[in-house]
Amino acid sequence: MSSTEALPQETSNSTRMSRGSLTMAWYGLVSAMFFVYIGAALAQAYGTRDALIGLGLTILSYGMINRVLAGYALRNGLTVAQFSRSLLGRTGALLATIIFAATAIYYAVFEGAILAFAFQAQFGGPMALWYAVVVLYTLPLVAGGIQRWLDKINGWLLPVYWGGLIAAVIWAGTAHGFSDNWLTHSVPALRFADGGPGWLGTYAAFMGVWILMMYTMDFAALGKPQDEKFHKRYTFGWLFYALAFGANALIGIFLTFTIPGLEATETGVAGGLVSLMGLFGLLVVFVSQTRINTANYALGISNLREFGERAFKVKLPGIIWNLLGAVIIFLLMLLPVVQYLLVALSWQGALVTGWVAIALTHIALDRRSGRPAEPGRLPDSSFPRVNAAGVAAWCVSAAIGIGLIQSGLAWGATVGTLVTPLLAASIYAGLRLRIRDNTLQSQV
């Protein structure tokens, strides 16, 4: 069983994934070349010390938040699409679903473009050809019966990925010399008015990847409730993010400051690995991007399907949705999407962090009042068309956050990203408590 076909439906305990299978499937996300690149880029921008402080705070935050979301999804078997009906209403939930789909597809485009660049760096040829190759070989990995051993693919490739990165570190150090430059790199301290301090800028940058909170819920919904303690601790907790963010960032920083001419750009790290190690470097990039893109394709296409079926009442075979998703991804690859990565991260930070904040507030308020979660098997008609508290909190907080990000102010991007979840949680809690009080008064 795998993510693409299982995510839109509630799963029974007998059909949920075993502890080991779910862990290996989820750990496919640990090997994104994006995590190697973004750590190095932030170290260059803010200095290694500030980047590492921001990373440490990020790992702690991700671990705490995902323990809550993973536990909730494991106990109740609720995906993002199903849970969003409680948060936003059945119509409002469509917005969460399409944003989830669009973000996952965007990452599929980005990670696929990195692999296509690595292929071109090794073999030459037009980029459009390698884009097509990447899409054509990835699609079967998330379609049909082959999904049943997706966790095994990731399990087999995991030691290849980490072994390859460790080899790259040794190779680079042997070829260019080991030094502590990568740990001591510093830049002039940034004032808050200029977008600093650096550790806060780093923390805010990683908030643009809070889409992983949504990924967590959809994957955790496939697990067994009796495995909750294990998954919260090892699968979706701090260990995963220490590897995904921490270890990858350290390797990216070392390679960037060790290999002459290597740039911490979207494709620079992948190109550096290929130029350093040739075909072996290409293999490392191939393994990295294959592992992460199985999840990106699966979640992007499954949520695209969920949106299409709910919004347009269209029932199509799974293969049609897979092909439609693949075509969308290929066409986006032909556009300069990669160049707008940081802008996209900022916008996603404003949109996704608001949803996460509302979700956490909803869970906390339900726990406080003793209200049980709505089962995922309930039909859409069981939910209001719009949950005014959730939609208002999300729209207002996102609008303010994006407004600050696009304001042109040096501190706008950092503050906009940080303020959004605080506003979303406050507005949702205030409106929901007010609605409850009004309801109680009307019953008196």
Tokens encoding 332: 């986006």
CB 141 within 8 A of CB 286: no
Sign of CA dihedral 425, 428, 431, 434: negative
CB 294 within 8 A of CB 156: no
pLDDT for 376: 79
Count of alpha carbons within 13 angstroms of residue 302, beta-carbon side: 26
Q: How many CB atoms lie within 10 A of CB 350?
A: 28
With a cut of 80, say whether residue 144 has pLDDT above it. no
Residue where the block lists tokens 């209403």: 89
CB 276 within 8 A of CB 168: yes
Tokens encoding 404: 């600050």
For the chain, what is the radius of gyration of the CA atoms? Answer: 22
Cα–Cα distances (Å) from 120 to 6, 286, 304, in that order, read: 35, 12, 30
pLDDT band at 380 (very low <50, low <70, confident <90, very high): confident
pLDDT for 258: 94
- Amino acid present at 312: F
CB 330 within 8 A of CB 135: yes
With a cut of 50, say whether residue 382 has pLDDT above it. yes
pLDDT for 381: 85
CB 204 within 8 A of CB 422: no
Output DSSP code: residue 235.
I
Helix (H) / strand (E) containing 170: helix 150-176
Sign of CA dihedral 390, 392, 396, 398: positive
What's the rounded Cα separation, in Å, for the pair 288 and 329?
A: 18
pLDDT for 150: 59
Q: Tens of pLDDT along 254-299?
A: 999 999 888 777 678 888 899 899 999 999 999 989 888 888 998 9
Q: How many CB atoms lie within 10 A of CB 443?
A: 6
Q: Mean per-residue pLDDT for 373-386?
A: 86
What's the rounded Cα separation, in Å, for the pair 261 and 423?
A: 43
Q: Tens of pLDDT along 220-257?
A: 999 999 999 999 999 999 999 999 999 999 999 999 99
CB 178 within 8 A of CB 257: no
CB 182 within 8 A of CB 256: yes
The share of the chain scoring above pLDDT 90, in percent, equals 61
Tokens encoding 139: 């699609």
What's the rounded Cα separation, in Å, for the pair 399 and 42?
A: 26
With a cut of 50, say whether residue 13 has pLDDT above it. yes
Contacts of 28 (CB under 8 A, 6+ apart): 150, 153, 154, 291, 292, 294, 295
pLDDT for 241: 97
pLDDT for 5: 39
What's the rounded Cα separation, in Å, for the pair 103 and 27?
A: 19
Sign of CA dihedral 245, 154, 232, 221: positive
Helices (H), 208-335: 211-220, 228-230, 238-241, 248-258, 268-277, 279-312, 318-333
Tokens encoding 313: 């009442």
CB 32 within 8 A of CB 211: no
Q: Mean per-residue pLDDT for 186-197?
A: 88
pLDDT for 442: 53
pLDDT band at 73 (very low <50, low <70, confident <90, very high): very high
Buried b (16+ CB within 10 A) or exposed e, 139-168: bebbbeeebeebbebbbebbebbbebbebb
Count of alpha carbons within 13 angstroms of residue 45, beta-carbon side: 20
Q: Mean per-residue pLDDT for 361-384?
A: 88
The share of the chain scoring above pLDDT 70, in percent, equals 91
Tokens encoding 3: 């993510």
What's the rounded Cα separation, in Å, for the pair 396 and 388?
A: 12
CB 416 within 8 A of CB 404: yes
Output DSSP code: residue 232.
I
What's the rounded Cα separation, in Å, for the pair 58 and 207?
A: 8
CATH numeric code, 3-339? 1.10.4160.10
Buried b (16+ CB within 10 A) or exposed e, 31-47: bbbbbbbbbbbbbbbbb
Residue where the block lists tokens 């979303």: 424
What's the rounded Cα separation, in Å, for the pair 285 and 293?
A: 12
Q: Tens of pLDDT along 75-128?
A: 999 999 999 999 999 999 999 999 999 889 988 998 899 999 999 999 999 999
Instruction: List the one residue out of 180, 178, 161 whose CA is nearest residue 170.
Output: 178
Q: Tens of pLDDT along 23-54?
A: 988 988 898 888 998 999 999 999 999 999 99
pLDDT for 166: 95
